[in-house]
Structure 1
């Protein structure tokens, strides 16, 4: 949370200050797989978009937690709102496991070992679960979502690197280059790690209400202190 606060404030790197964000923010610390967020964020919702990067699969330790995660997203998104995320690609991981000798595989950058619980030594230090995407999609549909697309990270990058409107964004991000003169700074081993993940986009069913969209006001603060979290 402190890292997030300093990045938002634009002072994460004192040698090269980042451009401040132009939108207000509120930072909340809690377990979004256990707590009903619609009560906590009642004055802020509904939202147009929800982003959950490299984290959704942590909710799948129990069915109740997986359902709470999706219920929270659904409750906070407006009809027609978008849910974007990344999570491990179960098909790729199982394929690599079948090709491996034993119950572990990896390279110089990552190492995955299967026990009773799956974990990635270079990720967050807590158990991780492999979630077959068709099961995730099926459960998400129960909470009013429909799938827009799901793509492995390699497929996602190759597709969008070909679109002119995204070349400049890729150049600014740096690591992947721009698919042209600017070359990637990722090593082959790091690029293999990307292959372990997929990207998805879900949309909440329904049409947004015009009055709801027009009445929204920016909430939050433009400078966040530790006491504000």
Structure 2
């Protein structure tokens, strides 16, 4: 695997004057506009249109080793912070690709939320064990609920009042979709804060704004990339300067072969951290994906996990590994862990038994709107 990139730029948390002022009204004073909803719908339609791949199709992907690396990063986060018996809130859960990871962590209850109808149907199919590439797998050991709606727009605390509190919340490769407006960014963090118990953990992955802006400034024009990805900024950002006083709505187009082709938004992590603090969180760590790999590949159990997942080959006959182009894409992302302040309140495991179902029908998926 190619090395040589500098240490994570995300460790710098920015100047203290960039902190947000307390806003007791939450997101109420930042109304949504129609253009934001249109972009959210584009993202939803993009992911809905992507079908579940067979094992053969997946292995033929030009970014198969990057996908396996991302799975390794998510697996490490879950192994580090999920505990047996936990109740899990999975925001932007997509097609349920992390269900097996949660099952291996022996969690006791799972709620998945996603805006894309097609993804939710695939997630339901996967949970039920009906997907072709999961037929040989036993049923999942935890009951689950699935909700279809925009978790960066609706108030989930109303919908999930009887399911909370959750012990751990996960939002993988999706939090940046909330950063199109301050209202959405606040709603995202307000939802997590309202539903996590004191002492609960929020884990996630998202683009590393410092790396993306650094690459933009090094590029001759407004676009950069390699054979498997490209990022294009609009001409309105032609000076390549971004004011900390206007951190929301910095949009770019992101294309990643066999994965993503839709608008995304810059998330300056020091401002994300400051906003999260307003909602009762404290930072445990933030690491660029390169830094994350270097650190946790020092631990034998995670080396073995990497071998099993195959991102770097299996260490034996299979010598295939990430290409330099895939490793460069990994550099565009970071992993973070936040902890909700307060004394831990351990939930009673028995109270979760009857909340979800072990088999989910189409009618069981709850569709929620911003009117909730």
Q: Do these two structures clear the TM 0.5 threshold for a shared fold by scoring above it?
A: yes
CA drift of 1:67 comes to 0.3
Change in 2 beyond 3 A, CA 1:114/1:164: same
Look up the SS of the partner of 2:185 in the other structure: helix
Q: Please tell me whether the aligned partners of residues 119 and 126 of structure 1 are also in contact (alpha carbons under 8 angstroms).
A: no
Of 120-129 and 102-111, more deviation after overlay is shown by 120-129
Range that drifts further, 173-182 or 122-131: 173-182
Q: Is the 8 A contact 2:199 2:345 kept in 1?
A: no
Q: Which runs of 5+ in 2 are unaligned?
A: 1-119, 240-256, 364-370
Q: Is the 8 Å Cα contact of residues 177 and 265 (structure 2) preserved in structure 1?
A: yes
Deviation string 1:81-116 (CA, Å, 9 cap, x unpaired) is 000011110111111111111000011110100016
Aligned in 2, Cα 1:123/1:58: closer, same or farther, shift over 3 Å?
A: farther
User: In 2 relative to 1, CA 157–183 (structure 1 residues): closer, same or farther, beyond 3 Å?
Assistant: farther
CA change 1:176–1:140 in 2 (3 A) is farther
- Give the 3-state SS of the residue equivalent to 1:168 in structure 2: helix
**Which residue number corresponds to residue 359 of structure 2?**
223
Normalising by structure 2, we get a TM-score of 0.56
CA RMSD of aligned residues (A): 3.4
Q: Residues 168 and 202 of structure 2 are in contact (CA less than 8 Å); yes or no, is this contact kept in structure 1?
A: yes
Inter-CA distance 116–42: structure 2 relative to 1 (3 Å threshold) = farther
> Relative to structure 1, is the Cα distance of residues 215 and 176 closer, same or farther in structure 2, using a 3 angstrom cutoff?
same
Distance 1:187 1:18 in 2: 31
Q: Is the 8 A contact 2:165 2:347 kept in 1?
A: no
Question: In structure 1, the residue corresponding to 2:262 is in which secondary structure?
Answer: coil
Q: 1:164 to 1:63 in 2, by over 3 A?
A: same
Residue 108 to residue 138, structure 1, CA distance change in 2 (3 Å): same
Q: How many residues align?
A: 229
Say whether the 8 Å CA contact 2:222–2:238 is kept in structure 1. Answer: no
Relative to structure 1, the CA distance from residue 225 to residue 72 in structure 2 (aligned partners, 3 Å threshold; closer, same or farther) is: same
Contact 2:281–2:339 (8 Å) recurs in 1: yes
TM-aligned CA distance change 1:188 to 1:19, over 3 Å: farther
Structure 1 residues 212 and 118, CA gap change in structure 2 (3 angstroms): farther
How has the CA–CA distance of structure 1 residues 97 and 63 changed in structure 2, closer, same or farther, with 3 Å as cutoff?
same
Q: Secondary structure at the match of 1:19?
A: coil
Tell which deviates more after alignment, 155-164 or 138-147. 155-164
**Contact 1:119/1:127, CA 8 A, preserved across alignment:** no
TM-score, normalization: structure 1?
Answer: 0.88
